[in-house]
Chain A
Amino acid sequence: MKEQEEELTGKAYDSRLMKRLLQFIRPYKIQMALALLFLVIFAFCELLGPYLIKIAIDSKIATGDMHGLLIITLIFLLVLIIQFIVNYMYQYLTQWLGQHIMYDIRNQIFTHVLKLPLSFFNKNPVGRLVTRLTNDVEALNEMLSSGLVAIFGDLVVLIGIVIVMLNLNWQLALITFAIMPFIFYASWLFRVKVRDSFRKVRLRIARINSFLQENISGMSIVQLFLREKKNYKHFDELNKSHLDAHLETIRYFAIFFPAIELLSSVALALILWYGGFRIYNQTLTIGVVVAFIQYAQRFFQPIRDLSDKYNIMQAAMASSERIFILLDSPEQQNTLKEPTALKAVTGKIEFKNVTFSYNGDEQVLKNISFTVHPGEKVAIVGATGSGKTTLTNLITRMYELQQGQIMIDDVDIAAIPVNNLRKMVGMVQQDNFIFADSIHDNITLGNDDITPDKVAAAARNVNAHHFINKLPDRFDYTLFQRGGNISVGQKQLVAFARALAYDPHILIMDEATSSVDTETELWIRDATNKLMTGRTAIIIAHRLSTIQNVDKIIVLHKGEIREMGAHAELLKKRGIYYRLYRLQFKNTE
């Protein structure tokens, strides 16, 4: 579905894309200008060669002037040396430009990605984003470093050749140019064809990437369920369609190159034929014909290069289009009205008629209203899918509200800068994401304000030090990606230490104690109690034992608040909470 959508996007607005790409070049105007200057000098030297040869043939060799030939040769040598230096500078500068622009683009994309709302990540596979930041940017770099500037260089050489040719003999020049319309038509046709097939290629490699990402990450599930054959078949299909797209592209290239070659040989034949005619009439020297032949060779080389660079350009255009689509996907709205930074937070949370839906269709939360007073602990209970996680995600603006308001300290959170808000509100999530980094870095997440002492203290508080102390390098022990070398419970302890180390004003725990054994749970509860003192806390748990200390319990059912009140109050009501409670009690009797 999504892939089809992507396949349909965009037609041929090259100039619009190019305009946006040029913005990345703007900071490097000086370097760019220098590169172009070197290029023009280079092109000039390039044009001088055949002209010097013409002089040598017509006025030195023909007349047997050895001394004149020596002078011409020496001038030629000087031109070569200048060309060598200028060429190096130009090559180096364009590479430098390409690399720095690539860095800037990557920086901008990644900065943007980090600002995208969570709903974006739910819709876009990780592999696709990886492709944008790696392969697509690489394609852009090729265009910038060897495409764009080189095309400009080719143009300079072309114009120069046209001028020189017209000066040497305008009739012969015009006859040579006669084939130009054909070359442009062939190039245009080629461009149209190749553009489409390149789009296909890019799209299909992105699919391969997504597939690999998902299947490599979930390989043990693939193996346990004996899906190897089926998944291989699926992969083979993706891979095959990628191959087909390439074979199409290859054919276009294979036709195009010989076609251009043929046209240039027709030009050569025309020069010979008309030049021969003029020599026969004694209105032209042999040196001019020789120079024309040389210029014609240099004339078609850039045109052939131009089309060769279509390869690079098409890939870059397709890539840039996708990069811009990504850059244009709206960032999370930062502020509504007057941004109000929270300073001294007391921790009052208020939901006012909050209604929320992920897709605009089914409402996950319906008209939720409640108030949590500063320092209060609130537990949210409810069946799976009742909207508990969504509710807590709204507080930290992981998703933007559509209806109603959430206030912290009587300020609408939509007016609080997200950074400010999330600093105030700490969150322990359902999935405890572990980075391929040391335990220390997994707790601080790179925040240097959190000293090793604080890390150790946080770990001790959540009783994570028991297992950490047993590891070879203790806090410096490097975890595998996703924490593959520690148990789920241990991952959770690390996540707890992380939350504790960040010392938030408001704490939100989402089913955090769910997959730890009772003993660890006791440790964590002990830590949680410490963590909760002096803070407003909202805890999601499905085990009633973990919410015995809270001031208020909210029972959510199918997105609605069905019961709300203190433990004893709710028991008296004999409603859902009572039923849940009895169930838990009965089980362990």
Chain B
Amino acid sequence: MGFISQVINGLGLGSIYALVALGYSMVYGIVQLINFAHGDIIMVGAYAMFLLLTLAGAPLWAAVLGSILFCVVAGVFIERVAYRRLINMKAPRISLLITAIGVSIFLQNLSQLLFTSSGRTIPSMFDLGTLEAGSLQVPSGSIINILTSVAMMVGLSFLVNKTKIGKAMRATSEDADAARLMGINTNHSIAFTFGLGSGLAAVGAVLYCNTYPMITPYMGGLLGLKAFVAAVLGGIGSIPGAMLGGYVLGVAESLTKGYISSSFTDAVVFGILILVLLVRPAGLLGRNVSEKV
């Protein structure tokens, strides 16, 4: 496979990381929580797809919409039940972090209980075969991934920068106390952020299932971790950073698979993280905050 196809495949994979990374980044931006349960939302979305397609026999579009909707509700529910009280009582960040790890383990175990630990196969979804342009051969899945992620990104920047809920989100992330005193219901903007992040992770899950139709209760683990790496690499809290981090990671993985060895990809991914952070501790697009003394 040629270099350009490798890059396009990498961008396709990176799109999935990017969509999941956005959720990590937005939630971190608004409540300074590294939501380790976010990766498991991908698993929740994948199983929701599986159930809708196989058991309920829903048409594809309904399964996709249903899975996204289910994840949005799950994200909002998790925030309400597990995090809100901690956030409003200004609990130390470490308590939030441990709670997030707890939620993650809970979700994995719950799914193991419901679906057993053996993997399930998702019926094939959108497959337009391989696209060819001259000597260039690219699987359609990669193109779908890239287009979807770009569309999501455009929609998201628009939402954050131009709408009133976006303004409320930004105000909450800058200074929640002051935002409340300006009439903003910060509980709403935080819940909205969780719902939005989870919805984007569900889109990531749909794309993931389209490319890799095997799902397990633990699929969110490494995938979530890599998306988190993408978010940190790009500069956590930054929306364009999360996208960039995702693409960089995806391309690095794809090129390592193609030119070095497929068993070495994770080492390269995490190696890149270490190198980038050594040079730019706040990530590629993160802002270095230097405290005036």
Q: Bound pair: A and B? A: no
